[in-house]
Every structure is written in C-alpha cells, then in structure tokens.
Copies of this chain bind each other. A is one copy, B any other.
Amino acid sequence: MGTKWLTPEELSTWVRLVAVVELLPGALDAQLRRDSALTHFDYYVLAMLSEAPERTLRMTALADSTTATLARLSHVVQRLEARGLVERFPCPQDRRATNARLTDDGMAKVRESAPGHVETVRGLVIDALSPRQLDQLREITDAILDRLDPGGAHNGFRQRYDPDRD
C-alpha cells in the first residue's frame, strides 16, 4: 500500500514544530551558558537533584527524570563532579548502583541561575501563550510523549522552577 503523505495543513504544522524543536534547545543553552556556564541539560540535572530527598538520586532515577540515556548522564555527571557541583558514591544497598548528590556549591549554582532561566522560559514560551493554549499544549505534548516515550516518567514530576519548595 502507498505512503499516506502529509496534507498541506499537517505539513504546515510539522514544519513549525520542527523549527521549534530545532531552535528552542539552542536558545536555552545560549542563555544558561552565557549567564551561568551551564548547558540546559546541566541545569536540568542539578534542578532534579535539588528537589530530591537528601539532594541525592540514583543514576537510573536521574536518567529517567531527565529523559536521558545512562551513558549521556554518566558523562555529564562526570563533568559536574569535576567542577565540584555534584558528588558520586556507591549505593550501600545495591553495589551495582551509583548515587549522585548535589553539593553545597551545586545548590548555590542552581539558586543563582534559576531566576535568569525562568525569565527566559517565560519570555520564549510561557508568556507567548494564553492560559487556554497552555492547557492545549500540555495535552498535545502528553499525546506525543505517549508515542515517543511510552511508559516514561512524565507524570508526578517536580523540578526547581520554584525555589520556595525546599
């Protein structure tokens, strides 16, 4: 059976979505790199740790909550550890596992970079949309993630965008 091509309306939406996924990561990286010497993924990792009990998470749990592979996370945490923002230690209960803990310097780093990052997120995305569009976007991304990452941890997710949480 032949390919079911995209209609003009579908194509129009697709082209815009591609532009967003192509441009947004670079824009987030650029601001955080310039102001805090962090990539967006670095920030995300630190933010997840800052919300965890004892500021500690197992590598696998951290990988799940950041939608990254374990290999990628391992490299990133290695660099963050070299900068003194994170420390690793073997998990006593399961000696295969590694725990990653946010250091005090790491916590300070998150606190100082959060305001500028949140301002960027508002400026580029949140404040560009109406409350209704935000609702629509949440449902749309939910539906896409069901295909893209079935069984992923996109629910019950906490993150450091509100520093009053700790």
Contacts and interface: CB of A to CB of B under 8 A. Distances in A.
Given A3-B118, A5-B118, A161-B5, A148 B24 contact: yes
B159 A115 contact: no
Contacts of A67: 18-19, 22-23
A139 B129 CA distance: 9
Interface in A85-107: none
Number of identical protomers: 2
B118 A4 contact: yes
A161 B11 contact: yes
Interface string A127-165: 011000111111111111111110010100101011110
Interface in A1-41: 3-6, 9-25, 27
Contacts of A126: 6, 10, 13-14
A124 to B, nearest CB: 5
B20 A144 contact: yes
Given A27-B148, A114-B3, A152-B19, A143 B129 contact: yes
A79 interface: no
A128 B114 contact: no
A125 B14 contact: yes
Interface of A: 3-6, 9-25, 27, 44, 67-68, 114-115, 118-119, 121-126, 128-129, 133-149, 152, 154, 157, 159, 161-164
